[in-house]
Amino acid sequence: MYRHLKLCSNRGGYEAIAEPPHPIDLGVAKGRLEAAGVPVVDARVMLIVSLEPEVTISRAGRLLFKTRDLREAEQAFGRLRSLLGLPGMAGESVGELPGG
């Protein structure tokens, strides 16, 4: 489960880290995203996803949203969650998406 979106130390974006860890198969994720029409750059150790805002996905399941706007990051997390079947945020109701 992702605990919350946290402002990065450099304040350039928000990150979500799953606790306990939730590794992501980047090949499967890339296929699902491309099937949904979302452009993806495969950088071998991470995916760079062309959502608004841009999102970087690591194999370990860390998500980095390149925005200073929390609401934008929440909406992008909700979209990724539905496309990739990611676990939700702590405190969410069943079926509720962040920012929704």
Q: For residue range 5-60, list pLDDT tens digits in order.
A: 898 888 889 999 888 888 999 999 999 999 999 999 999 999 999 999 999 999 99
Tokens 């099937």, residue located = 35
Distance, in Å, from the CA atom of 27 to the CA atom of 33, rounded to the nearest integer, reads 10
Q: What is the pLDDT of residue 69?
A: 94
The DSSP bridge partners found for residue 14 are 7, 65
The residue extents of the domains of the chain are 6-84
**pLDDT, position 91:** 59
72/65 Cα distance (integer angstroms): 9
Confidence at 90, pLDDT banded by 50, 70, 90? low
Domain boundaries 6-84, corresponding CATH code? 3.30.310
Statement: residue 97 has pLDDT above 80: no
pLDDT at 100 over 70: no
pTM for this prediction = 0.82
**Contact present, 18 and 1 (Cβ < 8 Å):** yes
